[in-house]
Amino acid sequence: MMLAEMNVSGDLAALLLRFIEQKQLDAPELQKQLCQYPPASRMTFRSWWCYLDQLQALMPKIPIGLELGLAIEPAYLGVLGYLTLSCDTVAEALQRFEHYQRLLHDGETASTRLSQDQFCIHWSSQFGISTQLSDEVLIMGMVKNLRIITGNNDLQPCRVQFVGAQPQGGIDYRRWLDCPVSFEQPELMLCFPLDYLKRPVSHSDPSLKKLLDQQAQALLDVIPRQEVFYQQLQQAIVKVIQSGTPTQEKVASLLKLSSRTLHRRLYEQGLEFRTLLKQTRLQLAKQYLAERKLRLTEIALLLGYSEQSAFTRAFRQWSGETPLQYQRKLSAAGIS
C-alpha cells in the first residue's frame, strides 16, 4: 500500500502525547515511541495508524479519531497552523492550507470544489486508502481549526463522507458532526456553507502572515517530494489502462525505465504491479460510475476490458457488488 510508506508530520506525536496525559492513560511504551519525534520531524502513515490503533485499544468505548480531532490546536500543525491564523478570511486560510499541506503530510492533497451553496474539501485515494481513525482526525481537525480561526465554536459542516465502512460500536456521528454522514464513498469529503469562505479570521495579522509565508515556503522546499514517483507511476498506469491491455512493460516504457528497474523500484517500496493496477482500475471505475456520464460498455473499454461482462465480474470481485448495485447505492445516499 503506497500511502502507508509516505510521511505525516511528526508534530502530531505531540497531540497524542498530550491526549494520553489529559486522559491519564497508562501507556509508557506508546509514550516512549511518540517521544522519538522532535518538532518538524516526519513519521510514516503506517506508524501514525499504528499509534491511533493503540490509543483506540486503550479506550475502546471512546471514538478516538473524533476526540483527537477536537483536540487539534495550531501548535500541532506547525507553521501552517499559525499561518492560517494570520490570514484575513477563511477563503485565504483555505488557500494557504492547500498550498502548504505537504508540511503536514505527503500523498493525497486536498482540493476545494464550489457549488451554489457549499464549498467541499475533498481528498482522492490515488495512493491508497487511509484508515477510518486517521480520516476522523483529519475531518474533525478541519472542523476544529475552522472554529479556531474564526473564533466561532458554532460553525458546523453541511455533510461529511468517509471512504471506509461505518465502524462497529454505535458511534453517533451526527451528534459529533451535526450533519449528514455517509460511508463507503468514492472519496473523503467535508462540506461547509459557501458563505463561510467570507468569514474574517479573528487573529488576522498581515505582517506576521508575510513572515510565516516565507518560513512555510522555505520548509516546503526542503521536504523530499516522496510522492513524485507514485504520481508518475499512477499517471502511467492510467495511460496504459486507457490505451489497451495494461502491462508492467508498457508502464516502464512510459516512465523511461527498463521493466527490470521498475520491478526493483516497486519491490523496494513494498509494492506489487498487479495490486496497483487493480487499485487504479477500481478508483477509476468508481469515479466513472459516480459521474454517470458513460455507459457501462464505455467504462469497460476505458478500463482496458474488451467486454462489459469482464468489467462487471472484476468490479464485483474488487468491491463485492456489481457496477449497477454501486450506482444504486450512490443514488440512495443522494450522491449523483
pTM of the model: 0.70
Helix pair angle (78-86, 90-100), 10° resolution: 160
Q: Are 86 and 205 in contact (CB under 8 A)?
A: yes
User: Which pLDDT value is given to residue 312?
Assistant: 93
Q: What local confidence, expressed as pLDDT, does residue 270 receive? A: 64
Cβ–Cβ < 8 Å for 292, 336: yes
> Residues 214, 146, 73, CA angle at the centre, nearest 5°?
70
Q: Whole-angstrom Cα distance, residue 301 to residue 191?
A: 33
Q: What is the CATH number of domain 228-332?
A: 1.10.10.60
Phi, psi of 159 (to 5 degrees): -165, 160
Residue whose C-alpha cell reads 476505458 in the numeric block: 302
Distance (Å) of CA 55 to CA 28, 43, 52: 12, 17, 5
* 3-class secondary structure, 119: strand
Q: Residue 38 class from Cβ within 10 Å (0-12 exposed, 13-18 middle, 19+ buried)?
A: exposed
Residue corresponding to grid cell 483527537:
68
Amino acid at 144: K
Closest CA to 309 of 320, 318, 322: 322
| Cα(138)–Cα(229) distance, integer angstroms | 25
| Coil/strand/helix, residue 69 | helix
Write out the three cell numbers for 222. 526542503
What residues contact residue 10 under an 8 Å CB cut-off, 6+ apart? 37, 38, 39, 40, 41, 42, 43
The residues spanned by each domain of the chain are 62-222, 228-332
The grid cell for 253 is 516504457
Regions of the chain short of the pLDDT cut 70: 1-2, 107-108, 126, 224-228, 268-270, 333-336
Amino acid at 258: S
Q: Which three cell numbers stand for residue 311?
A: 468489467
With contact defined as beta carbons under 8 Å apart, do 10 and 41 qualify? Answer: yes
What does the pLDDT look like over 247-277, one tens digit per residue? 999 999 998 899 998 988 887 666 788 888 8
